[in-house]
Amino acid sequence: MNQALPNSFRSGPDERGHFGIYGGRFVAETLMPLILDLEKAYAQAKVDPAFRAEMDGHLKHYVGRPSALYFAERLTEHFGGAKIYFKREDLNHTGAHKVNNVLGQIMLAKRMGKPRVIAETGAGMHGVATATMCAKFGLECVVFMGAVDVERQQPNVLRMKALGAEVRPVSSGAHTLKDAMNEALRDWVTNVHDTFYCIGTVAGPHPYPMMVRDFQAVIGQEVREQIMQAEGRLPDSLVACIGGGSNAMGLFHPFLDDPGVAIYGVEAAGHGLDKLHAASIAGGKPGVLHGNRTYLLMDPDGQIEEAHSISAGLDYPGVGPEHSWLHDVGRVKFLSATDTEALDAFKLCCRLEGIIPALEPSHALAKVADLAPKLPKDHLMVVNMSGRGDKDLASVAEHLGGQF
């Protein structure tokens, strides 16, 4: 790499929302004033001690933070190498890391006086988290979800409805997460005056990638303290799955400037990288979609291609812009796991640890299975257990022919 490395990997984005060439604000003019308002409101909230204090209170008493850092003893024994820890985001209220970000954004919506919240969702975890926080804070909630995902994530659809949210199935495109995001943006362009768009990952126009990262960084900040307590030193490696990349960025960001920490992001390789998949860094190239420049799956004419993953939460043809940059500068290494590898890891985790992981972090676990056996026993590896797998049981059972 002949590009000069930055002094810090944690200084981005610049004031225009760029991480290297990635990020930016590629939105319709109608939305531009809203995004500038949001940027200003977030900048003010961020330095307001009252906002921080209120958020910390909700994180502790409502979300249930800090989430545990758990030594996965039997999995460690099974692989016979690295000492494996799980960061238990699956134990958060609503069952995934998504709630960390949603809490911050919904508090901001309230602060900005927006009575109506919209969100896109794939696996439904972000939709459930948004519906939950809207119930708690008394805001109207509309969640856009691809019609295919509505089918394969029924339990979450019911949860959202129980929480009082309206779920709008989206039947454009491939009926998955990308299309849900298009539809959410269309709604936002239409309802600019009263609506707050709560994006579920570290993507979209600036300031979303930065703001969502900041709200999720609590994951890595806790891990730093917890691993110091448990082991007296920082971990040697971090592993997390990458959909848009919010659970990964939340874990990685506080460690980016610790050169001794190797960092791995795991994309969804679907049926295989030479077939249908959702690995935008491994199989895509830089382009512009949904408000930012980033790695995308597309054809030679710049038309966006459909992603495929068994995991609805990873089934997206893009990735957050900061990940694209971290890939280019070589700070984070991006791997990928197939549907089959993820299912194997899912089963293993259930049997050995008594933890039913979501299909998303099962992709991270699948690469732990590759990495851990080759590493020494004193290597400390932290895996982000980004969510629980209850939502996936029906579709896993179907894939495994009813045989767990």
Partner 1 sequence: MTTRIDTRFADLAHEGRPAFVTFVMAGDPDLDTSLQILKALPAAGADVIEIGMPFTDPMADGPAIQAAGLRALKAGTTLKKTLALVRDFRTTDNVTPIVLMGYYNPIYIYGVDAFLADAKQAGVDGLIIVDLPPEEDEELCLPAMKAGLNFIRLATPTTDEKRLPAVLANTSGFVYYVSITGITGSASADASAVGAAVQRIKRHTSLPVCVGFGIRTPEAAQAIAAQANGAVVGSALIDAVKASLDAEGRATKATVGAVADLVASLAAGVRGAKQAAE
Ligand X SMILES: Cc1ncc(COP(=O)(O)O)c(C=O)c1O
H or E element that contains 116: strand 116-121
Residue 185 binds which one of ligand X, partner 1, none, with CB within 5 to 8 A depending on kind?
A: partner 1
Q: Which stretch binds ligand X (CB under 6 A): 20-28, 185-193, 335-343, 356-364?
A: 356-364
Interface with ligand X includes 38 (CB under 6 A)? no
| Cis bond before residue 33 (omega within 30° of 0) | no
Q: Which of residues 169-188 bind partner 1 (CB under 8 A)?
A: 172-173, 178, 182, 185-186
- Of the candidate residues 13, 204, 235, 244, the single one contacting ligand X (CB under 6 A): 244
Give the helix ranges, DSSP H, for 207-293.
208-216, 218-231, 246-252, 280-283
We find the least distance from the C-beta atom of residue 119 to partner 1, in angstroms, to be 16
We find the least distance from the C-beta atom of residue 231 to ligand X, in angstroms, to be 25
- The amino acid that residue 54 corresponds to is E
Site string for ligand X, 98-127 (x = CB under 6 A): ------------------------xx-xx-
We find the least distance from the C-beta atom of residue 245 to ligand X, in angstroms, to be 5
Interface with ligand X includes 146 (CB under 6 A)? no
As separate numbers, helices (DSSP H) first and strands (DSSP E) second, the chain gives 16, 14
Closer residue to ligand X (CB): 201 or 324:
201
Q: Which residue is it, tokens 């604000």?
A: 25
Per-position b or e across 143-179, b if 16+ CB within 10 A of its CB:
bbbbbbbbebbeebbebbeebebebbbbeeebbbbbb
Smallest Cα–Cα separation from 149: which of 185, 177, 127, 172?
177
Q: Which residues are catalytic?
A: 98, 120, 386
Smallest Cα–Cα separation from 216: which of 92, 358, 109?
92
Closer residue to partner 1 (CB): 25 or 159:
25
Residues that bind partner 1 (rule: CB under 8 A) add up to a total of 36
DSSP state of 378: T
- The amino acid that residue 205 corresponds to is P
Interface with partner 1 includes 15 (CB under 8 A)? no
CB 169 within 8 A of CB 145: yes
Interface with ligand X includes 204 (CB under 6 A)? no
- The amino acid that residue 386 corresponds to is S
Interface with ligand X includes 318 (CB under 6 A)? no
Q: Which of residues 257-316 bind partner 1 (CB under 8 A)?
A: 287-291, 293, 296, 298, 300-304
Q: Is 10 exposed, middle or buried (0-12, 13-18, 19+ CB in 10 A)?
A: middle
We find the least distance from the C-beta atom of residue 163 to ligand X, in angstroms, to be 16
Closer residue to partner 1 (CB): 93 or 308:
308
The string of DSSP codes covering 185-219 is HHHHHHSTTTEEE---SS-SSTTHHHHHHHHHTHH
Closer residue to ligand X (CB): 250 or 287:
250
We find the least distance from the C-beta atom of residue 404 to ligand X, in angstroms, to be 19
Q: Can you give the binding site for ligand X, defined by CB under 6 A? A: 96, 122-123, 125-126, 201, 241-248, 313-314, 358, 360-361, 386-387
Q: Can you give the binding site for partner 1, defined by CB under 8 A? A: 16, 24-34, 172-173, 178, 182, 185-186, 189-193, 287-291, 293, 296, 298, 300-304
